Amino acid sequence: MQSRWNDATARDYVARYAAHGEALALRLYTCHLLGQDPSLVLHGGGNTSVKTTRTDLLGRDVPVLCVKGSGSDLAEVGPEGMPAVRLQPLLELRALDALGDQAMVDAVRGALLDSRAPNPSVETLLHAFLPHAYVDHTHADAILALTDTPDPAARVRAALGDAVVLLPWIMPGFPLAQAVAAAFAAAPQCRGIVLAKHGLFTFGDSARQSYERTIELVDRAEKYLAHSIGGRPSMLWAEAAPWSADERRALLARALPILRGAVARKVDSPVGPAWQRVVADARTADDLAAFAAHGAARQLCATGPITPDHVIRTKGHYLFLGREEAVAGDQVHAAVAAYCAAYQRYFTAHRPDPKVAMLPPEPRIAVVAGIGLVALGAVPSAARIAADIAEHTLRTKAMAHDLDRFEALPDHELARMEYWPLELAKLSAQKPPPLQGQIAFVTGAAGAIGSGIVEALLEAGACVFATDVDAARLATAMQRFAAHHDRLACGSVDLRDAEAVAAEFTRCVLRFGGVDIVVPNAGIAHVARLTELSPARFAEVQDVNVRGTLHVLQAAAPILRAQGTGGSVVVQASKNAFAPGAGFGAYSASKAAALQLARIAALEFAEFGVRVNAINADAVFGTDAQPSQLWQQVGPDRMRARGLDEQGLRQFYRDRSLLKTEVLPRHVGEAVVFFASCRTPTTGAVLPVDGGLPEAFPR
């Protein structure tokens, strides 16, 4: 490992954060250097501090500790994420023999200069009790590989010598702060303190010194590991060659919907039973696949995390599935049930407080033999964070396994950390949006109605796989949803090609884990009276609007069935299915056929709990930014026939409805969200979104 300190960049930070002082500016620089290296910290892990001064209300320079806020990410933390705490009240706490967690939190928050600041790190007192200006704490993989073994003292001594002091595992909080301060006082020449099964603290009089001590010690640990195990761990390459990338992809496409369905939780809701679903993030790099193929993989997955800080993201143990097992629905459900039962036993045996409720017992990480790992989370960001941690966990366990034997923290200590109130406080208590964890597949997403559907689904919390035949137009249309980039993926497909449609569903599965909401929305139109209607143009409209809908239904059905958690199909029909217009024969016939397919699907898909409904929209002109292609095509003819301009035509359609209102793309999107939310036990229904047209009332 090499230092990435750069004097020019350091000066840039000092200039950028001049208003906050040089000390904090350089602290932020080294925070970012540490946080941007995933082998040192991951996703909110680790913490850092700097001792400096701030001016109080009386104009006095007050010594303060600027320490990372709890949950902030070192890779991107800013000044607001390093709350300033008065140092003297913290130092006075050293005189205590004991200090409870809540009293510690109260004392630290009471010393904040700004009461609106985020909670300082739970290790604030540890930073305060060390005398150095700068303190860095990381969970470096190489350090953990040394200490997650049966004899961490021997390993740390062999790798790092007298440069560090090793402490045994101690729960974070006041006792750990006291122990670290005492350890440094007894060995003031040390450059770092290693906490067994936890991580590394380094310190210095400057930001560079503290940072480069971390780099130096981690580099020594990495070199020791490489020398001891002969390069990289044999677990990551020496077993039978894992399946090829294409074979892994093919198996995952079958396995992910089954796993996702098995992990979904059935819960009560105000409108009856509902599913709490998850999304998946699969990682199949060659070394991960090799680990998963190794004979020791199953046993290592049954051990705890490399540091207990990861437990709230990944749980302690990982689910392990054989290749054949992963694609057998009954076996996956049995494996998940066994995992949940084991977690229940762990909780019952080790929960630190009899009043605390058990967290959801389902696995967060599954390792599939010869394939890699799958992380599961309520939202893509949670799955991604868990997957990142799991990648490093497997690689670190492989190093410890080759070095000696991986040995995790005992379950009773892990449970203390998992159910520690200060850790649980990091979990969000916000009410989730209605479609959180659900995955939608939308066709014709580049159009006005399609983008309105995508918008409504994203705002309701769903992940969306948006498709259109026009990839360039789709990319442009989706630009306005950049804020939802982690929940939005795009694909281009010609719905007339059944194999291409199936391939896009596979891409959706590999991206998010499955599909719950299917919206066949794409359609084309052709204006011609029957006497002038070309059979070829008639067939073209049927190919897209009818055969395309059929292909989508056929590709979605096996995924929905494999998941076993129901779902919702919402077919975009049209008021023309009930109230056709002259010159619109090809389109009207195709939409009537699509509606009939929806009705048949409602009959057949009910077998696996899927509701199929339709929306009949009319006169959706779109917006200036996203105009309707259909109305761009048929509008001029309608304007000529009625002697109207574009605004006059829009007014005509508003006035002819009972509600005298304009129908917007977002209205259609909200109708899709209503059906997808399954708030009523409805299937086979047709919902008009047309402002009210008596001739098009469903009958």
Both tokens of 463, joined, read 């992940």
Annotation says 318 is catalytic = no
**Separation of alpha carbons 8 and 613, rounded Å:** 61
Neighbours of 250 (CB within 10 A): 14
Cα–Cα distances (Å) from 7 to 25, 87, 136, 140, in that order, read 13, 29, 19, 24
**Residue of 17, 346, 419, 587 marked active site:** 587
Which three-class secondary structure state does DSSP give residue 201?
Answer: strand
Fill in the DSSP letter of residue 359: P
Burial class (CB in 10 A: 0-12, 13-18, 19+), 91: middle
Q: What is the DSSP string of 14-33?
A: HHHTGGG-HHHHHHHHHHHH
Measured from the Cβ of residue 355, the count of other Cβ atoms closer than 10 Å reads: 5
H helices of 230-305, in order, are 245-263, 286-293, 297-301
Question: 520 CB contacts (<8 Å, ≥6 apart)?
Answer: 443, 548, 549, 552, 553, 569, 571, 572, 594
Neighbours of 15 (CB within 10 A): 10
Rounded Cα gap, residues 561 and 514, in angstroms: 11
- CA-to-CA distance for 256 and 531, rounded, in angstroms? 51
- The three state secondary structure string of 324-341 is HHHCCHHHHHHHHHHHHH
CA distance to 223, 225, 490, per residue, from 398 (Å) = 16, 11, 36
Tokens, residue 87: 């140092």
Closest CA to 140 of 93, 79, 74: 74
Contact 696, 627 (CB under 8 A): no
3-state helix, strand, coil in the chain (%, to 5): 50, 15, 35
- Local structure of 593: helix, strand or coil: helix
> How many angstroms separate the most distant Cα atoms in the chain?
99
| 484 and 536 Cβ atoms separated by less than 8 Å | no
Contacts 24+ apart (CB under 8 A), 325-330: 326/251, 326/255, 326/258, 326/259, 326/366, 326/368, 326/369, 326/371, 327/251, 327/254, 327/255, 327/258, 328/258, 329/258, 329/261, 329/262, 329/562, 329/564
Catalytic residue numbers? 587
